Amino acid sequence: MEKKYFAESELIINKDSSVFHLHVKPEQLADKVILVGDPGRVSLVASHFDEKECDIHNREFHTITGRYKNKRITVLSTGIGCDNIDIVVNELDALANIDFKTRYEKSPLKSLTLVRIGTCGGLQEYTPEGTYIASEKSIGFDGLLNYYAGRNEVCDLAFEEAFVKHMNWSAQKGAPYVIDSDEETLNRIAGNDMVRGVTISCGGFFGPQGRVLRVPLADPHQNEKIENFEYNGHRITNFEMESSALHGLSKLMGHKAVTCCMVIANRRALKANVEYKNSIDGLIETVLDRI
Ligand SMILES: O=P(O)(O)O[C@H]1O[C@H](CO)[C@@H](O)[C@H]1O
Ligand SMILES: O=c1cc[nH]c(=O)[nH]1
């Protein structure tokens, strides 16, 4: 089969041989990767490392590679949103699977383990503040995966159909997509002490998550319908802003991804915890031990 070649405009490589946005070089990427939204959370994760190899900043992307109990791990920030996940996962995949000297796809291809540690809003009575939720499935309200070929082959189409019907979904919002996390990685990371749930990844923190400040919502009943939805024993547990694209692109590229988040806003009880930065360290330690 003919090898795939990637032109300068499609895979942008900086003068120092690092990838365009992340500024990371291929040899600086570990096979186990932790992704966090907040650039400040990278140093918190890396504070557990026994040694550090590199510490790189560009825009919202802060990357540290190091060792934790004999495991080589890269931790990096994605910033907020699935648009950033498109950049991060494509650039991580390029670092792993494209030869930066020849610009040809490598063979054999490498499969990375990608674990997102985030914060989220809880939607059920059994997901109060402080709960750790591992996303068994993600529902993308962001639309990103719809731009890629193979989307229908990796998505749970029956779940999508049931959800669209239940929500009386307006086509103006773009098609939602439903995607599983990697089963083995989910079981290893979630263990038997995290809640396993269905996570909605939104293209915004306010309207798309049903928050109303001064502008009313197109569908004022959106969150009630989401909270009541049930499909084959699955309930929707939480809102965040990245897992659908992370899980979807990983499935299309052959990487193994899972998202786990700590609930910081209880949408049912109308409560939020802004002092979560210390308590998320428990989730970080658990993931470092299990990755
Ligand atoms: O805490 P992080 O990882 O950023 O995750 C959540 O927090 C941000 C919104 O406040 C979004 O990125 C959402 O997904
Ligand atoms: O409610 C929340 C809390 C954190 N992150 C989100 O995206 N939503």
- Choose which residue among 242, 247, 262, 277 to substitute to test ligand 1 binding: the one with the highest number of ligand atoms within 8 A of its C-beta: 242
Q: Which band of pLDDT confidence, cut at 50, 70 and 90, is reported for residue 107? A: very high
Write the CB contacts of 213 (distance below 8 Å, at least 6 apart in sequence).
206
pLDDT given for residue 276 in this prediction: 87
Residue 48: strand, helix, or coil:
coil
Cα–Cα distance for residue pair 222/6, rounded to 1 Å: 42
Distance CA 94, CA 164 (A): 34
The pocket around ligand 1, CB under 6 angstroms, is made up of 36-38, 80, 118-119, 205, 240-242
Q: Which atom of ligand 1 lies nearest, measured to the CA of 119?
A: 1
Q: Is the pTM for the entire model greater than 0.90? A: yes
Q: Select from 60, 62, 80, 205 the residue to mutate for testing ligand 1; criterion: most ligand atoms less than 8 Å from CB.
A: 80
Please, are residues 142 and 82 in contact by the beta-carbon 8 Å criterion?
yes
Residue 138 predicted with pLDDT over 90: yes
Residues in contact with ligand 2 by the CB-under-6-Å rule are 119-121, 205, 209, 239-241, 264-265
CA distances from 177 to 36, 100, 143, 145 (A): 22, 33, 7, 7
d(CA 116, CA 129): 18
Which atom in ligand 2 lies closest to the alpha carbon of residue 267? Answer: 1
Residue of minimum CA distance from atom 8 in ligand 1: 80
Q: Which residue has the tokens 């299990």?
A: 290
Which pair of structure tokens corresponds to residue 116? 């997102």
How far apart CA 151 and CA 155 sit, in angstroms, is 6
Domains of the chain in start order, with CATH, are 26-290 (3.40.50.1580)
> What ipTM score was computed for the predicted complex, to two decimals?
0.99
pLDDT at 142 over 80: yes
Q: What pLDDT is stored for residue 123 in this prediction?
A: 98
Q: What is the pLDDT of residues 24-78, one digit of tens each?
A: 999 999 999 999 999 999 999 999 999 999 999 999 999 999 999 999 999 999 9
pLDDT tens-digit readout, 175-191: 999 999 999 999 999 99
> For residue 166, which phi and psi values (nearest 5 degrees)?
-60, -40
Please enumerate in sequence order all residues whose Cβ is within 8 A of that of 198, keeping only pairs 6 or more positions apart, or say none.
Answer: 135, 136, 137, 138, 139, 234, 235, 236, 237
Counting from 1 in the atom list of ligand 1, the atom nearest the Cα of 117 is 3
Helices (H), 148-275: 151-154, 157-167, 183-190, 222-228, 243-253
Q: How far is the CA of 265 from the centre of ligand 2 (A)?
A: 7
Average pLDDT over residues 245-255: 98
